[in-house]
Structure 1
Amino acid sequence: MLKYFFLLGSLFFITVSQSQNDNPKLIVGIVVDQMRYDYLTRFYNNYGEGGFKRIMNEGFNCKNNHFNYIPTKTGPGHASIFTGTTPKHHGIIGNNWFDKELKRDVNCVEDNSVTPLGTLSDDGKKSPVKMLVSTFADENRLFTQMKGITIGISVKRRGAILPAGHTANAAYWWDYDHNGTGHWISSTFYMEELPEWVTDFNNSKIAESYFKTWNTLYDINSYEDSGTDSNTYERIFKGEKQSGFPHDLPKLKDKNDGFKIIANSPFGNNLTTDFVLRAIKEEALGKDNVTDVLTISYSSTDKVGHDYGPNSKEVEDTYLRLDLELERLFKALDNMVGKGEYTVFLTSDHGAPHVPSYLEDNKIPSGLFDLNAMLNDVNNLLYEQYKVSDLALSRINNQIYLDHQKIREHNIDVQELKTIVSRKLLAYKLISNVYMTSAINQFPESSGYQERMLFNGHNQKRSGDILFTFNPEVFKDAPWNRTGTDHHSGYNYDTHVPLLFFGKGIKHGETLTRTHIIDIAPTISALLGISFPNASIGQPLEFVID
């Protein structure tokens, strides 16, 4: 509720809540992994009335919502949405990054100090320990004296863990990779053992029921908002001869890592909703006047996008099916929490470009860049100059990490070395800009937009020595990237994502005012009347709050 006060002829406003009883009983934060904004509009006519359209028609649509940092990856995206800040502060600078002390890549949620629950796999050795700041869910827990419950759920571990924060009662992710168990799992960061209801769910064989043929939900001839079905722009599963429908998952599962093929189909989203609804019931979320937080990340949209690309029939079908999952979720929330008693926001962790070969066939500049070959070229050049091998250790996240121990041992002028590397990188046709981190740290507020995005994505302790950006529609060349899509950039196709608010305390409306992903957490905090996350730099979207 907005209250206005007059002081010395000026108008000031603050956001207050009359009492905790006025707050939503449940906040539901939904992240649709790899959802471009135009999926709302392109598939709109085939959506039903109870999913995406319900949020847009009853809630508030921020149509010009963007990420304000580079790189646009899943881990940084989920962290930024819920902390209200960028990788510069929350420290999640990629899904993985090169650790300068360990001299190896580390995962954004790896934690070898915890024990897996529900699996023997290292996929259970995960926690939010590498995220340096609080989420709005953490602040809600602190505000309510730990009475408010927080649960994070996603097929992906980082999609479950980072949004829920450090004080979460639980985060659950699905053990599907590398012929996993097909169980929902967690770690001892949250609890000593899985709740009985989770074990019962795992034993119910619900996951196995999704080993079924994936065909189009509706007549494929009605899918007029995507390209041809079978084409050279798409992945072909092992065991298939072409990329088009149908996809016989029972027949394909043994050649495609078992349960992983469910995650790589829209049925991973169905399974996520199944588990979410059980969690709402068993954990009694939204059943009292203390606000609870439920974070949901629908991950299979990302996996289908990576495999088939934004213009595929598979992506269109996945979103039409997700629309029905949202309707199922909202109906369940109406019944279990109460219509008008909960608040939802829906956004994405990043967008995605079209497949480069598809763009090239339509005369739009694009390309794939071989990062491994580039790193070899850089090291060969440095060896010719200094007679020292492997001075460049990594090129992850479009960042060059140098071996400073060797640089010191051989008395190499580090600025000279960086200049040599920078000039080499800038000579590549598909690289647009190169920056030394010493320059990024000093970027003024008046810098260009891309420079500010790099500044916001740069963490001084974790980021590399040299950063570079590609031309539009270019991403790394790898066997899995030669079909389908990827994401990482500061261009609109990666930054422009939906932002929808819906439910208690939310106005009905829309805006083309530019908003940023970091504005979500302070907006929800303002709605609840709680402290903003401790490193939040976003602005509350006052025009959203009723």
Structure 2
Amino acid sequence: MPCIRLFLAALLLLLPATAGAQRRTVNAGGSGISLVVVLAVDQLRPDYLRTFDRQFTGGFRRLIDGALLYERGQQYHAITETAPGHAAMLSGRSPASTGIVNNELGVGDPVAPVLGSPQAPGASPRRFRGTALYDWMLARDPEARQLAVSRKDRGAILMTGRARGQVYWFHEGRFSTSRYYADALPPWVEAFNARRSAERLAGTTWNLLRPPADYREPDAQPFEHGGLDVTFPHRLPATAEETARLFGYYPWMDSLTAEFALEGVRQLQLGRRGRPDLLTVSFSTTDAVGHNFGPDSRELQDQLLRLDRWLGSFLDSLAVLVPAARTVVTLTSDHGVQPLPERTRASGRPARRIWLGDLAAGAGTRLARRYLVDFGMAFGSGLLSADTMALRARGISVDSLASALAAAARGRPGVRRVFTPASLRDAPAADREAALWKNQLPGDLGWLICAAIEPGFVWSPPEQTIAEHGSTAELDVLVPIAFMGPGIRPARVRRPVRTVDIGPTLAALLGIRPTQPVEGQVLPEVAGRR
């Protein structure tokens, strides 16, 4: 006990000195950056910035003209979904390292209930492995501040990492967090929620922002939105309760997200300390509209035009709080999206929804009957997973089972390639699709097959009617990556870069280093060769 007390006393004496040394190092670093802002637009394809270039007048316009824009950014992994995409952005690492394999294995956590909604599914970063940019900032400056905001829990949580910071998402008409982060909402969040901003828009009509002639696509397409409510105007529900529940599917959700983020910057005094703080905002409505109406719809175009204006207002308001000359802004996305296969097929090109869930269910049922055990076989976004340890423990040849399932999968129309654990391990490094899957799958994940599909085909149950992402297709993988701030020269870069490069590049701008090995590289056009 005396030794332990002496150690603790020594540690307490050491901490203030260390913190002081860290503060001196930060101030001496000369970065001049007070606030790092990372903006993610869920389901933003890079071609949108070109397609609607002439109609953008706000935030997208500012980034197109004033940022260093990488036009061929990539989420360099196979399951192009929200959770793995957000986890890669600021960690510098792929899902194989972060452990965030897909949305299902993302942030769900029953022991971390949402504050104010104890019956709702909980959420936390417990599955996230390792560190991210905010951890690296804290290692240098223990007083660094942070705020993460999104409509989606995974959009807010996974850009932060495991740190118990200021992390909020929209749930049932209000912004909240989970018990992983706090036992109660701070007064400023409660006051913001008391405005009932979403409910007050009940009955509002969503009309076109511009004249109909300015839109590329016809309004009425029967394969959009499940064939229901496919033309403008669209009306929000008449009741406040229903509006709060469905608000995330309408453009105003992004405006409210931006408003909440600005209020958080004010209340938390982000960017006011003379040392770098971090703000991450994930805008989710483009994903909702893109899924429901498709990437070629008038609704998607109108959503982007509205978001462009709101981003412009957001950046203007932010500059009043923190000078633009001391702010670095990064824009990217978690994934792209493919056209509705029904639309593609109507244009005369091959397209189809593909699902291998029946293979997983059939094999799982047969094995469960034989061994009286559920082996957890499940399928999603090209991956058939299973409890391979339990299979091996009962003498079942995992290699033989995987080979049989692979042979069955190869016979499905639209399935172009299938890997088993053995064939993926032996695939050459230059094999792009194999590389995407290797970046996707942690070494301790049990799985039997993973697959790639033909262009125009999507992973989707046949009864689904929404646009999809989640595959290795280029339209799913490609995302924009942009940096804007002091010392960053505007330019357009065509060479491929990856979202795992964002975190290390921002760290280099701040004069800090990742505290663990990362896959991402510092982008020399942004931060020089550091």
Pairwise same-fold verdict (TM > 0.5) = yes
- The residue number in structure 2 matching 1:305 is 290
The DSSP-based 3-state class of the residue aligned with 1:526 is helix
- Which amino acid in the other structure matches residue 465 of structure 1? L
- The residue number in structure 2 matching 1:469 is 452
Q: 1:174 pairs with 170, 189, 201, which one?
A: 170
Give runs of aligned pairs for residues 377-392 of structure 1, distance below 5 A.
377-378=362-363
Structure 1 CA distance, aligned partners of 2:188 and 2:368? Answer: 59
User: What CA deviation, in whole Å up to 9, does each residue of 1:16-41 have, x standing for no partner?
Assistant: 99834533110000000000111101
Segment drifting more, 318-327 vs 205-214: 205-214
TM-score by length of 2: 0.89
Measure how far apart 1:450 and its partner are: 0.7
- Which amino acid in the other structure matches residue 494 of structure 2? L
TM-score by length of 1: 0.86
Q: 2:266 pairs with 258, 268, 281, which one?
A: 281
Give runs of aligned pairs for residues 253-402 of structure 1, distance below 5 A.
258-378=243-363, 393-402=377-386
Structure 1 CA distance, aligned partners of 2:86 and 2:525? Answer: 24
Contact between 2:149 and 2:169, CA under 8 Å: does it hold in 1? yes
Contact between 1:450 and 1:490, CA under 8 Å: does it hold in 2? yes
Contact between 1:265 and 1:300, CA under 8 Å: does it hold in 2? yes
The DSSP-based 3-state class of the residue aligned with 2:269 is coil
Question: In the alignment, is residue 26 of structure 1 matched against residue 35 of structure 2?
Answer: yes
User: What CA deviation, in whole Å up to 9, does each residue of 1:313-366 have, x standing for no partner?
Assistant: 100010000001111111011111012111100000000001101111112221
Question: In the alignment, is residue 496 of structure 1 matched against residue 465 of structure 2?
Answer: no
Q: CA RMSD in A?
A: 2.5
Segment drifting more, 515-524 vs 185-194: 185-194
Structure 2 CA distance, aligned partners of 1:249 and 1:399? Answer: 37
Q: 1:136 pairs with 133, 136, 148, which one?
A: 133
Contact between 2:44 and 2:286, CA under 8 Å: does it hold in 1? yes
Question: In the alignment, is residue 154 of structure 1 matched against residue 140 of structure 2?
Answer: no
The DSSP-based 3-state class of the residue aligned with 1:295 is strand
* Residues matched between the structures, number: 504
Question: In the alignment, is residue 221 of structure 1 matched against residue 201 of structure 2?
Answer: no
Question: In the alignment, is residue 81 of structure 1 matched against residue 89 of structure 2?
Answer: yes
Structure 2 CA distance, aligned partners of 1:405 and 1:517? Answer: 33
Change in Cα spacing, 1:275 to 1:188, as seen in structure 2 (3 Å) is same
Contact between 1:269 and 1:300, CA under 8 Å: does it hold in 2? yes
Structure 2 CA distance, aligned partners of 1:148 and 1:337? Answer: 15
Change in Cα spacing, 1:461 to 1:410, as seen in structure 2 (3 Å) is closer
Question: In the alignment, is residue 246 of structure 1 matched against residue 244 of structure 2?
Answer: no
- Which amino acid in the other structure matches residue 132 of structure 2? T
Where does the alignment leave 5 or more consecutive residues of structure 2 unmatched? 1-24
Measure how far apart 1:377 and its partner are: 4.8
Give runs of aligned pairs for residues 485-524 of structure 1, distance below 5 A.
485-524=467-506
Measure how far apart 1:491 and its partner are: 1.4
Question: In the alignment, is residue 127 of structure 1 matched against residue 127 of structure 2?
Answer: no
Structure 2 CA distance, aligned partners of 1:403 and 1:190? Answer: 31
Structure 2 CA distance, aligned partners of 1:486 and 1:500? Answer: 24
Segment drifting more, 272-281 vs 204-213: 204-213
The DSSP-based 3-state class of the residue aligned with 2:61 is helix
Structure 2 CA distance, aligned partners of 1:165 and 1:380? Answer: 37
Structure 2 CA distance, aligned partners of 1:391 and 1:191? Answer: 36
Structure 2 CA distance, aligned partners of 1:403 and 1:278? Answer: 46
Question: In the alignment, is residue 436 of structure 1 matched against residue 420 of structure 2?
Answer: yes
- The residue number in structure 2 matching 1:103 is none
The DSSP-based 3-state class of the residue aligned with 1:272 is helix
Measure how far apart 1:111 and its partner are: 2.6
Structure 1 CA distance, aligned partners of 2:259 and 2:494? Answer: 35
Measure how far apart 1:545 and its partner are: 3.0
Change in Cα spacing, 1:541 to 1:230, as seen in structure 2 (3 Å) is same
User: What CA deviation, in whole Å up to 9, does each residue of 1:58-91 have, x standing for no partner?
Assistant: 2211112112111111000000011011011111
Structure 1 CA distance, aligned partners of 2:331 and 2:524? Answer: 17
Going by fraction, where is helix more abundant, 1 or 2? 2
Identity of aligned residues (%): 27
User: What CA deviation, in whole Å up to 9, does each residue of 1:160-202 have, x standing for no partner?
Assistant: 0010122252100011xxxx3x111112322332110000111
